[in-house]
Structure 1
Amino acid sequence: MGWWSRESLGEILAEGLKKHPDKGFHVHSVVRPYSGTFADVEVVARRLAAGLRARGVGPGDVIAFQLPNWMEAAATFWASALLGAVTVPIVHFYGPKELGFILDNARPRVFITAERFGRMTYTPEPSAHVPIVGVVDRDFDDLLAAEPMPGVLEVDPAAPALIAYTSGTTRDPKGVIHTHQTLAFETRQLLSGYEPDRGRQLTALPVGHFIGMLGAFLFPLVEGTPADLCDEWDPTRVLALMNSDGVAIGGGPPYFVTSLLEHPEFTSDHLRRFGPIGLGGSTVPAAVTRRLTDLGLLVTRSYGSTEHPSVTGSLTTAPEDKRLLTDGRPRLGVEIRLTDDGEILSRGPDLCVGYTDASLTARAFDDEGWYHTGDIGIVDDDGYLTVTDRKSDIIIRGGENIAAAAVEDTLLTMPAIVEAVVVAAPDPRFGERAAAVLRLKPGHPMPSLDEVRQHFAAAGVARQKWPEELHEVDDFPRTPSGKVQKHRVRQHVAEVGRRSGMSIEQKASHA
């Protein structure tokens, strides 16, 4: 249908580098800062490409990297694309177990990593079978040839370009395969919806997460905007950068925006540096979009996944209720439909071509090419989708389904609550009950179960949907994109129940 082009990622990169060599490339890091231009980083990338080419690496070979948001990560991704290789980004805080599984599954020819960053420390065992290993701060520079590799190696644009591993829940990570064509379309599609002259945007998502990688290393080249990266999410430092360097936050998972608004050093000057805010990558509560709108910000929501990055989204010109309360309409070229039980199925030009595990592909894709997302949603009369829950997040209480997201939205309208996660807890009578895990505003006491019940009653929520168990946390376990890892929250709630043996009211009082 004309959605795909014949360009490879390497050709797209080379064109962007040719057009915008003088754009700034900045890494805002305490441990490894960098300031240069696209042209400066291109020299490192082409020297790395030449060094790897001399070692026999070429089109179709797999190059994996586990690096923070550093210049060397950009050089590795660009070198891989110029070589026509398959890139495997790995989030920097994966431990030896997850790293070992990914390297065994992807079988890379090359693995680039760091000597040390935060809790990550290089150990040779997981990559012992990888022929070429480069460690930043140790021997990475040994891989760089004296002369940069010219040009771009030819590759079939329908061939794999990226394997992105999703965060595992009850099993090992899943390897999602994207081609040059699916990623090129994703890039064009997202950039077409961006506001012009957005200025310097700070990339906080880890580049080991594939949308973070594209946002940091591909989108700026195509758009012709500077690249600004931070390797650690520290709201205090980010607020300082907004003032000193003029960088802005364009959105992402809600946590990256709300953690700034909650910070005691946040001022009206910071607020003026926000442009339109696009929220996605995790559940977007209506209470958050309303709060941002009340502050004068223009907010949109979107929906996608590693498998299908951009399923739906709203334009900034859409009616306010659609922008704030729905996840938008299907994006260009994308189709969606709902099954009888409300599961969202999607297909389109940016949909992945499957998993490295053929059995997973067979389960997730049907014969007509529809991807079964595992998400539950509704579509209104105007074609706007609202994602209401994950299939796995439905709480079945006495045979009745309770959508966790709806309970979370009501909790977030309580003044003391910053973030709420609702999961199923075992119940001897009803099978399951709603357990609410709360992150509170500084200085606010934990609400009692009676206060929560009164709030839900005043909101007109059916009694069976009221939380029946409360827990407090300082923060939640999160994926690289800031999404709360609900399976770990469930484990925490279940473990508290096993340890305490308390009644529901006792648990709430104890919490």
Structure 2
Amino acid sequence: MQLPSAEIDGYVPFSDERATRYIEDGSWNEQAFHEVLDERAERHPDQTAVVGPDRELSYAQLVETSKRIAAFYQHETDLERLDRVVFQLPNSVEFLEMFFACSRLGVIPVMLLPRHRESEARHVVELTDAKAYITTGDRYDLGFDYVDFVTEFADEYSTLEQLVAVAGAQQELPANWSGFDEIRTAYEPGDLSPVDVNPSDPGVMLLSGGTTGLPKGIPRTHNDYVFQWEQMAAAVDVQEDWTAFPSVPIGHNASLCCVIGSAIWAGATIAVEPVLKPDRLLELIEDVGGTYSLPVPTQLVDILEHPDRDSYDLSSLEVLISGGQKVPPRVVYELVEEYEIGFCNIFGMAEGPLICTRPNDDVDTQANTVGRPIAPDEDEIKIVSEDRQSTVDQGQQGELTVRGPGYFTGYFRTPEENAENFDDDGWFYTEDLLSIDDDGNYRVHGRIKETIIRGGENIYAPDLEDVIIEHEAIENVAVIGMPDERLGERPVAFVELRDRGDDLTLEALQSYLSDRGIAVFKRPERLEIVDDLPRTSVGKIAKVDLEERIIEQLKNEGQLSDEY
């Protein structure tokens, strides 16, 4: 038994008592990420592990290349166990090779996303004291030069000792950069000396969604993350002969845990596509017989409305998961009916909570709830009142509060956040509002911070959005609070229309909501029709951008002072 070593300044480890309990009750199987991979490779060495646009590796080959890379780092760099390495890579074979190489060394990959830019990159390098930065060169055309981007600021950080790019055959890298292919071929697998990796220590650092401010570091141990790989694979019933494909960036928890991790646990195949556009994803499903994925709701809508959708063969699909924001029920009904798939409506957080419907649930449950926890026997979950002192009654909204073997234990080097969101017993207060139906299924009502307070009345924006999205003219909606000197806030609705030629007035929207029994004080008092709602790097609606926009508009209209 290996208990948490707690050797990193600013990391909050699991307590010895909890770690011991999770190991003794079998929740944690004390395997590092690469040990799960190695075990699958021993069982099925020739099974395809990962297939990309121009490379394909069996499980045995993925083991071999990850050992080669780890041997290079061991012999040619100063990287040591628990050092941090920034990953900014697209969905690619190289990501998986690097990820499992880091695991073999006990090095912690930090999951910067491809759409992150200078402010996030600098913040993450500084926060984590990263020793290496691994990104893409011109092998994948993402419309952005990541090598130049990183070169601009890398010299300012003394901790950054190595820069690596996944370069094309003809790309000439700057002198202080290493090419991925050189690293992958410099050493033999047998050149790697085994490293004693403690599964109770961090194995990956995810980043918070970043819808407001800079992302926070979310350390996940090998033990707690592998636990969720296993539970997610069981909840979805992932099969060895499936082909799983991440539809959102591979470094996001939705892909790394729910798709990649569950597929590795089951010994299935992973297909990767660097360009996450509807055409490319549809082509991928058809080309590789894609079985299982987790797109965000926007991507599902894009697929359903794709003008050439019927020309693609999507008959291989077995299960789709979606979440990150509200999945419109009509989208679930349409997908289930047309493709006869199992739909998993999910509520998930990089911090750990994963609650989802199951593929064999009835479609009403899949469309209108987020189902049950993926580990109902091990997860500790309660829904608490606003004062966090008591649990609420069945069916009542409250704050989701969690503790257990699959949850993180604290944000990295952010003591203020930890003091606000954890209690002395290790319970994590998520700031998400949920309720539990009589049948045990959960419903999501939004974030506490998405509560609009109008003259002392609370308006839960996501609940209002659920009703507005059902209007026949509306494709998507975001409701936010706009400042008001008398009432504090008033609700405003930003909407995308289904047909750009449609016309919708505020009066018509208010009448629609009146017909559906929505209280007067909850109805939007301003309507903004936009071509496209702003998105975060993982496809969520960026409400902070809308808040900034409406404040500027109110100032320009003279309804808000410039001092606001």
Q: TM-score, normalised by structure 2?
A: 0.82
CA contact (8 A) 1:205 1:480 kept: no
CA contact (8 A) 1:446 1:472 kept: no
User: What is the DSSP-based 3-state SS (H/G/I as helix, E as strand, rest coil) of the residue aligned with 1:437?
Assistant: strand
Distance 1:127 1:284 in 2: 40
Change (3 A) 1:483 1:157: same
Q: Which moved more, 1:75-84 or 1:37-46?
A: 37-46
User: What is the DSSP-based 3-state SS (H/G/I as helix, E as strand, rest coil) of the residue aligned with 1:353?
Assistant: coil
CA contact (8 A) 1:177 1:354 kept: yes
* Letter of the 2:463 counterpart: A
Give the alignment partner of residue 336 of structure 1, picking from 381, 390, 396: 381
Mapped pair 1:3 → 2:48? no
Residue number in structure 2 paired with 1:348: 404
Is there any run of 5+ residues in structure 2 with no aligned partner, and where?
Answer: 1-24, 168-172, 387-397
Give the alignment partner of residue 376 of structure 1, picking from 433, 448, 468: 433
* Letter of the 1:300 counterpart: C
Q: Which moved more, 1:206-215 or 1:301-310?
A: 206-215
Q: Render the CA deviation track for 1:225-252: whole Å, top value 9, x for unaligned.
A: 2211111221123223333433245334
Q: Render the CA deviation track for 1:342-367: whole Å, top value 9, x for unaligned.
A: 21111121101211123322221111
Q: Could you say what the CA RMSD is over the residues aligned between the two structures, in angstroms? A: 2.5
Distance 1:216 1:74 in 2: 13
Q: Render the CA deviation track for 1:12-55: whole Å, top value 9, x for unaligned.
A: 12212333333332224xxxx43443444443322211110002
Residue number in structure 1 paired with 2:529: 472
User: What is the DSSP-based 3-state SS (H/G/I as helix, E as strand, rest coil) of the residue aligned with 1:387?
Assistant: strand
Give the alignment partner of residue 483 of structure 2, picking from 407, 426, 436: 426
Is there any run of 5+ residues in structure 1 with no aligned partner, and where?
Answer: 504-511
Mapped pair 1:95 → 2:142? no
CA contact (8 A) 2:346 2:356 kept: yes
Change (3 A) 1:103 1:485: same
Change (3 A) 1:281 1:448: same
Q: Which moved more, 1:445-454 or 1:206-215?
A: 206-215
CA contact (8 A) 2:291 2:316 kept: yes
Per the TM alignment, residue 3 of structure 1 is displaced from its structure 2 partner at its CA by 1.0
Distance 1:220 1:371 in 2: 28
Residue number in structure 1 paired with 2:99: 77
> What is the correspondence of 1:108-257 to structure 2 with a 5 Å cutoff?
108-115=130-137, 117-122=142-147, 123-128=150-155, 129=158, 130-137=160-167, 138=173, 139-140=178-179, 141-144=181-184, 145-148=186-189, 149-150=191-192, 152-197=194-239, 199-214=242-257, 217-248=260-291, 250-257=293-300
Percent of pairs with identical residues: 28
Distance 2:32 2:309 in 1: 42
CA contact (8 A) 1:68 1:92 kept: yes
Distance 1:438 1:316 in 2: 31
CA contact (8 A) 1:302 1:313 kept: yes
CA contact (8 A) 1:220 1:227 kept: yes
* Letter of the 2:402 counterpart: S
* Letter of the 1:335 counterpart: E
CA contact (8 A) 2:318 2:342 kept: yes
User: What is the DSSP-based 3-state SS (H/G/I as helix, E as strand, rest coil) of the residue aligned with 2:243?
Assistant: coil
Aligned length: 498
> What is the correspondence of 1:299-310 to structure 2 with a 5 Å cutoff?
299-310=343-354
Per the TM alignment, residue 410 of structure 1 is displaced from its structure 2 partner at its CA by 1.3
Per the TM alignment, residue 473 of structure 1 is displaced from its structure 2 partner at its CA by 2.7
> What is the correspondence of 1:284-299 to structure 2 with a 5 Å cutoff?
284-295=327-338, 296-299=340-343
CA contact (8 A) 2:493 2:524 kept: yes
Change (3 A) 1:23 1:429: same
Distance 2:341 2:311 in 1: 12
* Letter of the 1:147 counterpart: E
Distance 2:455 2:545 in 1: 24
Per the TM alignment, residue 444 of structure 1 is displaced from its structure 2 partner at its CA by 4.2
Change (3 A) 1:267 1:409: same
Mapped pair 1:435 → 2:492? yes
Residue number in structure 2 paired with 1:51: 72
User: What is the DSSP-based 3-state SS (H/G/I as helix, E as strand, rest coil) of the residue aligned with 2:237?
Assistant: coil
Change (3 A) 1:297 1:286: same
Q: Render the CA deviation track for 1:99-124: whole Å, top value 9, x for unaligned.
A: 11101111122221123542353232
* Letter of the 1:308 counterpart: G
Distance 1:275 1:327 in 2: 19
Change (3 A) 1:151 1:189: farther
Q: TM-score, normalised by structure 1?
A: 0.90
Change (3 A) 1:427 1:274: farther
Change (3 A) 1:291 1:435: farther
* Letter of the 1:303 counterpart: F
Residue number in structure 1 paired with 2:52: 27
Change (3 A) 1:380 1:83: same
Mapped pair 1:450 → 2:507? yes
